[in-house]
Amino acid sequence: MINFSEFEKKTGIIFKDKDLLKQAFIHRSYINENTNTNSSHNERLEFLGDAVLELVVTDYLYRKYPSHNEGELTALRSALVNAIIISEVASESGMNDYLLLSKGESKDMGKARQYILANTYEAYVGAVYMDSGYENAEKFITESLLPHTDEIVNKKLWRDAKSLVQEKSQEFFNVTPAYKVMSESGPDHDKHFNVGIYFGVDLIAEGKGKSKQEAEQKAAGEALKVKNWLD
């Protein structure tokens, strides 16, 4: 039986309903493998937490950036609540140590684990909301996720790197970028890709990720830096 007391100390949020806290960490695969458990998986809590998260982030961005238009605020929000950022925040919060997964899922440390962690973060937000209300859920999001806002804005991570680099490469060089997998490593459940971005025959930059899409975005981001196209 997992003891959540250390996690509660770390977050500063003590649950009245410990079963609700546990449910936030239960993946569907755990229920499928442990059919005798009386617990439920976390997908309903995730549904609720997703809505709470979106409201908290939207309210924060609306107040923080009064001169940004709707499109810019939407792009910023999307960058903040995407699965990669949320999974990193979940890891920083220590959630990975408390996941209740099937034996198969527990071995998978690749992209699937990222999504499980991101979903668990949202389920936890939903559980906090149910157990102690909006203010506590807002406090947790404010302390764990929102500090990443400045980095996202300063590095312009809210703009889609692939779209921007294509726009700039066509403007300055009249070429459309091409992406090529330079190498891949790891077992099927934990692949790592290294992708190069080319303007014609010229290799401009490389990026690494747990999927081809993620590696392409990283490569595009690096190309923007190389070409000094971020401003």
d(CA 158, CA 153): 7
d(CA 25, CA 85): 18
Q: Give SS3 for 158.
A: coil
Q: Tokens representing 201?
A: 């025959």
Three-state secondary-structure class, residue 10? helix
Could you tell me the CA-to-CA distances from 51 to 113, 119, 152 in Å, in that order? Answer: 22, 12, 21
Tell me the chain's radius of gyration from C-alpha atoms: 20
Cα 31 to chain centroid, rounded: 24
Distance between CA 176 and CA 114 in Å, rounded?
Answer: 31
User: Which of the residues are catalytic?
Assistant: 50, 122
Contact assessment for residue 51 and residue 74, using Cβ atoms and an 8 Å cutoff: no
Task: Enter the tokens of residue 56.
Answer: 């908290």
